[in-house]
Amino acid sequence: MPFLPSTSRRHFLQAASAGAVAAAGLAHAHVAGANDNAGLAGSETNVKRLFEALTPEQKKSVCFDWDHQDKNRGLLRTHIAANWRITKPELASDYYSKEQKQIIREVFEGLVAPDWVERFDKQLKDDSGGFGHDQAIAIFGEPGSGKFEFVLTGRHMTLRCDGDSADHVAFGGPIFYGHAAEKFNEAPNHPGNVFWHQAVQANKLYQTFDEKQRKRALLEKAPRESDIAFRGKDTDIPGLPVTEMTPDQREKLQAVLKLLIEPYRQSDRDEVTQCVTRQGGLDAFRLVFYQQGDIGGDGVWDIWRLEGPSFVWHYRGAPHVHTWVNVASDAGVELNA
C-alpha cells in the first residue's frame, strides 16, 4: 500500500492542515480574550433551570436517580453509543415547551466552544435534520444537590454536563462526536466534514515518522471502535510511544491534542489537560494508525487512535467520522459502552 498521497490529496492535506492551524490560533485568541469559565456556570445553572421547569410527568420520563440501571444498557448515566436516544421524548417534538427547548439549547451552547456552535449545527443538520431532531436528554440526580449530570444524545453526538459530579473524569464521562457530511460513504478527502481536519493534522505528524517509527505506529487491523475502556499503566498499549518521538514531533502531537479538545468549553479542555498530566503526561501515551479503512488506498490513514493509561481518543474516519472519547485521571473508572 503506497504511503505518499496522490497529488490532489496532498494538496488537500496541505490546505486543510493550514486551515486547522488557523482555527487553532483563533481558538487560542478566544481563550485569551474571553472567560470561557462562564460556560461552566451557564450550562450547570441552565440544567437546574430546566429541571425546575419540567412537569412531574416529564420528570418521570427523563429524570433518574444517579445510579439508575437500565435493563438493556446497564448504568444508564455512563452508557455511550454512536446513534441513540437516551430517553424516548424527542427534543423537537411537542413534548417540550418552547421555554424548555430554549433552555436545552442554552445548555448545549454552553458545553461547546463559541466558534464551534455553527459547525456542530452543520453536523446536526446533515446527520439528523437539525438540533433537536432525533435527539433526547436525561438528567441524573438533582441539579443543585452537588451530584447531578445532564446527558444529550442523538446521532453522532453524546454530550454531558456534570458540574464536576463525576470524580476524576473529563467531560462528565465518555462522549461521542461524528459526521456524515455529504453521504454515508465519504470520499477520501471527506468534503464538508467538520471534524476531518483533526485527521489531517494527525496524518501530517505521521508523515514525519522515519521507517522505524512507522513500523510501530502503523498496524493493519483496527480494534472495535467502541472499545475505549482504559488499559491502565501496567498494560502494553499498541502504537508508537511518544517517548520515541523527536521534540518536533511531540510539538506536532500537542497540536493534534489541541485540535481534538478545541470544540468544547474551556473548563472541559482544562479537565482533559489535568487528566493527561495526572497520568504522566503525553510521555505515557501512544499514537497508532490503522491500514484498515484507508479510503481510496492512498496511505492517508482514516482510522487512528491516541491512547494513554486512562485516555482513549479513537477516531474512525471510514466510511465517515465516528469518534469515541474516554478520559479520566486514573484507570479505575467503569465504562458502559
pLDDT score at 200: 98
CA distance linking residue 321 with residue 43, whole number of Å? 27
The phi, psi pair for 139, rounded to 5°, reads -125, 130
Mean pLDDT of 320-331: 93
CA distance linking residue 71 with residue 251, whole number of Å? 46
Least confident of 33-47, 218-232, 275-289: 33-47
Residues 139-170 have pLDDT tens digits of 999 998 889 999 999 999 999 999 878 778 99
Mean pLDDT of 287-309: 98
CA distance linking residue 175 with residue 78, whole number of Å? 9
pLDDT score at 23: 34
pLDDT band at 2 (very low <50, low <70, confident <90, very high): very low
What beta strand segments (E) does the chain contain? 63-64, 69-70, 74-75, 136-142, 147-154, 157-161, 175-179, 218-219, 240-241, 286-290, 303-308, 311-316, 321-327
Average pLDDT of the chain to the nearest whole number: 88
Domains in the chain: boundaries: 7-34+184-327, 37-166
Q: Are 155 and 128 in contact (CB under 8 A)?
A: yes
Count CB neighbours of 183 within 10 A: 12
Residues 70-80 have pLDDT tens digits of 999 999 999 99
Q: Are 190 and 321 in contact (CB under 8 A)?
A: yes
Eight-state DSSP code of residue 6: P
Q: At residue 56, does pLDDT exceed 90? A: yes
pLDDT score at 30: 34
| Amino acid found at 161 | C
pTM confidence score: 0.87
